[in-house]
Amino acid sequence: MQTIQILAYGKLKEKYLRDAAAEYEKRLSRYCTFKCTEFEPIKLSENASEKEIAAALEKEGQQLLKRMKGYVIAMCIEGKLIDSVALSEKIQSVGLSGDSTVTFIIGSSYGLSDGVKRRADLKLSMSPMTFPHQLARVMLYEQIYRSYQIQTGSKYHK
Amino acid sequence: MQTIQILAYGKLKEKYLRDAAAEYEKRLSRYCTFKCTEFEPIKLSENASEKEIAAALEKEGQQLLKRMKGYVIAMCIEGKLIDSVALSEKIQSVGLSGDSTVTFIIGSSYGLSDGVKRRADLKLSMSPMTFPHQLARVMLYEQIYRSYQIQTGSKYHK
């Protein structure tokens, strides 16, 4: 079974988002070993300097680099816009390779370090619009679930 | 106060999505008169022909055309991809015009009729990825809320 690993900064605070995530996790368990690791974002003051932000991102990046495995997809707004079928094909092609793990990364509200972006095999954007990280996580779970539905030819994606 | 009208096919079935929508509706009530009208999608068999689908879309389109007001934004996957700031500017500019109402349309799972698409002032896509209509509704509510946050210069959108 393919492993899908989510590395995410911040917790799902709203109950409705935790419930949504739990629903997709349950559905996904039929298709893959799905696990999400939540990291505590480094706290910065509201007036943090560019340098302080860069240092925090670098530190968060070190944490992420230790945990990444397999094919790494970094979620970032400047990433590639692809459709659900293309994402499904990508996940399927990794599933057929040696290390079939896919790691998705959702950074903190300041984004991701350059090191993480360089290491990523794919920089992916779901939208040119900005969404809250918590909602983006649910959107991503839905897309991963949809990916498997596309692979199995179900009616979910028509 | 600006009126934002949502015309949507289908109900929010999952409790977590209804809770999410309710939360954004509450927040939006500070910035606009926000209302959503849900229509019952016309039921089609799983093997509906192209002709049956077109007829259903046409009928749904007639319902929608009666209810549209002001500036009409039709959500469709082939629509224009714009970022949150551009959407905010669009909503703000309509707010300054004669009929300041904005109507957003989320069609049934078969999409929207050609008549509705022609009448729309803007065809908008949030993503090249396909999302369930129910989740797309919550994503849209968040973008409308974000639009007002951008207009008021809050820290929500940074």
pLDDT value for B150 = 97
Return the residue of B nearest to A110 by Cα: B158
Residues of chain A in contact with residue B147, where contact means CB-CB under 8 angstroms, are none
Q: Quick one: average pLDDT of A127-146?
A: 97
Confidence of residue B56 (pLDDT cuts 50, 70, 90): very high
Distance from CA of A128 to the nearest CA of B (A): 5
Collapsing DSSP states into helix, strand and coil, what is residue B60?
Answer: helix
Checking if the pLDDT of B158 tops 80, the result is no
Q: Quick one: average pLDDT of A32-50?
A: 93
Share of chain A above pLDDT 70, in %: 100
Residues of chain B in contact with residue A15, where contact means CB-CB under 8 angstroms, are 16, 19
pLDDT digits (tens, 9 = 90+) for A77-99: 999 999 999 999 999 999 998 88
CB atoms within 10 A of CB A92: 15
Higher pLDDT, B105 or B98: B105
Return the residue of B nearest to A21 by Cα: B16
What letter would DSSP give residue B14?
S
- Alpha-helix runs per DSSP H in A29-132: 50-67, 84-95, 114-119
Q: Quick one: average pLDDT of A41-46?
A: 90
pLDDT value for B98 = 80
Distance from CA of A99 to the nearest CA of B (A): 26
Checking if the pLDDT of B85 tops 80, the result is yes
Mean pLDDT of chain A: 95
pLDDT value for A98 = 80
3.40.50.720, 3.40.50.2300, 2.40.30.10, 3.40.1280.10: which CATH number matches B3-41+52-118+143-151? 3.40.1280.10
pLDDT value for B110 = 86
Give the CA diameter of chain B.
Answer: 50
pLDDT digits (tens, 9 = 90+) for A94-128: 999 888 999 999 998 889 999 999 999 999 999 99
A1-42+50-110 is a CATH 3.40.1280.10 domain: yes
pTM here is 0.95
**CA separation for the pair B89, B91 (Å, rounded):** 6
pLDDT value for B130 = 96
- Helix crossing, A15-28 with A133-151: angle to 10°? 20
pLDDT value for B148 = 97
ipTM > 0.90 for the complex:
yes
Q: 3-state DSSP: chain B helix, strand, coil percent, rounded to 5?
A: 45, 25, 35
Report CB contact under 8 Å: B19, A23.
no
pLDDT value for B118 = 95
Checking if the pLDDT of A56 tops 90, the result is yes
Q: How far is CA B27 from the centre of its chain?
A: 17
Checking if the pLDDT of B81 tops 80, the result is yes
- Helix crossing, A84-95 with A133-151: angle to 10°? 70
pLDDT value for B46 = 85
Checking if the pLDDT of B15 tops 80, the result is yes
Mutation site, A127, A140, A141, interface B, largest B CB count within 10 A: A127
Confidence of residue A144 (pLDDT cuts 50, 70, 90): very high
pLDDT value for B109 = 83
Say how many Å lie between the first and final Cα of chain A, rounded: 25
